[in-house]
Amino acid sequence: MNINEIRKVFDLASRFAIVAAVFTALLLVFYSVIDPVRQNNVKRIMERKYSEVLPRSLHYEEKHIGNKTYIAGYDKNNYPTGKIVLVNTSSINDRLDLLVSVGEENKITGVAVIKQNKIYDILDRSDIDAYFRQFTGKSLYDLKLQDGGNDIKPVRGALSLSDIYFTAIKKGLEDVEVINALSTK
Amino acid sequence: MHYQQNSFTELFKELYRRIFQRNPIIVLIAGLCPVLAISTTVSNAFSMSIIVLCVLLLSDVTIRLVRQFFKIELMYFLHVLILSFYVTIVDLFLKGFYIEISNNLGIFIPLIAVNCLFFEQYENSRKQPSFLLSLFSAIGSGIGFALIMIFVSFLRELLGSGKVFEVTVFSKPPAIFSLAPGGFIVIGFITAFIAYIGKRFNRDDK
């Protein structure tokens, strides 16, 4: 490779690098403008989900205890109304993020899906909502009994998904139990 | 940049050619990935079509503006860079202002950057000396993509969920039309139908 060829390659590379740097700078500017709006959106969506699963609460506070994180809900007099835990389950081709909330008596007040595999979008939303409503008022003890019983009907046409939901909700209640045990110490 | 004079007839011929004769989905079979994955509802298809049209137009204009400073060897890299730039801008914009659309379309927004439709359009634009013809070609590709995408999604939403625009038309629909195989079936039938019509017209011309 002679000096002219090296110069040619260097010239091409430097031109490309300049254009890439300009586009990157533009993206950084755009990102710095959009990111606060995006974070605000995420916060707003999460708060809407919190109010769906723990409707009696007026404001929410993120708390950490041990290695667990949960959202504590409070009413207008600042009395605690319950706890919300985020359950993540994942397998090779599946991922589920689920909110499980319990009232002060440790019974489920609501369940909401935050993120799941898009394939489940084909299911009827009302069937899934009806499935989650069956959990309202249930405690961890009730769900442990359910392992051998059948008083919670699975989502129509989605037995394995119902099983994933059930396991995730049970895991959420177990997390709440650990949080309760840690907070009484 | 060449500012070649083009008559309206030429421009609209190019538009017609890109929408029907060289339609990216049913004729070129390019960019099928979002069509199969996103076309489960009309609203998703509509959003995706707008995004594709915007990115096609912006990337085509930008590449025309910057290509005079580059030699042919770098054009592909530059095209990918510009495409990725606009796709990232659109992705960020949707995450900021239209989070629902962003969540619905998911990974298929970033995947636009590697969509064959754009590479085909780039090849077409590279051979095209006229700026206006290239612009009309990009608009035609975008509209051609949108028409088929929306039509496919309309059929899939109707057959797969029994609903159109949240209005229930019939109960107990066959769920296969909401899945990717259903997308293949619908696109296959449309492609076959268009090919049949095309052949028949050509035969009549002869």
Question: Hey, where are the domains in chain A?
Answer: 54-184
Dist. CA B206–CA B196, nearest whole Å: 16
**Does B58 contact A at CB distance below 8 Å?**
no
**Does B97 contact A at CB distance below 8 Å?**
yes
Q: Determine the distance from the C-alpha atom of residue A163 to the mean position of all C-alpha atoms in its chain, rounded to a whole number.
A: 18
What pLDDT digit, counting tens, does each position of A156-170 carry? 777 888 888 888 999
Architecture of the domain made up of A54-184: Alpha-Beta Complex (3.90)
Mean model confidence pLDDT for chain A = 86
What pLDDT digit, counting tens, does each position of B54-76 carry? 999 999 999 888 877 777 777 88
Q: Residue B65: inside a domain, yes or no?
A: yes
Q: Range with the lowest mean pLDDT among A136-140, A143-147, B52-56, B75-79? A: A143-147
Give me the pLDDT at residue B206, please.
Answer: 47
Q: Which two tokens stand for residue A134?
A: 């069956």
Chain A hits for B172, CB-CB cut-off 8 Å, are: none
Confidence of residue B203 (pLDDT cuts 50, 70, 90): low
What pLDDT digit, counting tens, does each position of A22-67 carry? 999 999 999 999 999 989 988 888 889 999 999 888 989 999 988 8
- A129 contact partners, CB below 8 Å, separation of at least 6: none
Chain B hits for A23, CB-CB cut-off 8 Å, are: 81-82, 85
**CB–CB of B174/B160 below 8 Å?**
yes
Q: Residue B2: inside a domain, yes or no?
A: no
Separation of first and last alpha carbons in chain A: 74
**Inter-chain residue contact A15 with B77, CB threshold 8 Å:** no
- The number of distinct structural domains making up chain B is 1
Q: How far is CA B162 from CA B116, B168, B169, B170, in A?
A: 32, 6, 5, 5
User: What letter does residue A93 receive in the DSSP assignment?
Assistant: S
**Does A9 contact B at CB distance below 8 Å?**
no
Chain A hits for B77, CB-CB cut-off 8 Å, are: 16
Domain residue limits at B201: 8-205
The pLDDT of B73-87, averaged and rounded, is 88
The pLDDT of B98-108, averaged and rounded, is 85
Dist. CA A129–CA A147, nearest whole Å: 21
Dist. CA A65–CA A178, nearest whole Å: 10
Mean model confidence pLDDT for chain B = 85
Is residue B204 over pLDDT 80? no
**Inter-chain residue contact B74 with A20, CB threshold 8 Å:** no
What pLDDT digit, counting tens, does each position of B105-114 carry? 888 888 888 8
Name the residue with tokens 């595999």.
Answer: A117
**Inter-chain residue contact B95 with A34, CB threshold 8 Å:** yes
**CB–CB of B110/B80 below 8 Å?**
no
For A154-175, give the DSSP string: PPTT-HHHHHHHHHHHHHHHHH
**Does B65 contact A at CB distance below 8 Å?**
no
Q: Residue B3: inside a domain, yes or no?
A: no
ipTM surpassing 0.95: no
Is residue B85 over pLDDT 90? yes
**CB–CB of A88/A159 below 8 Å?**
no
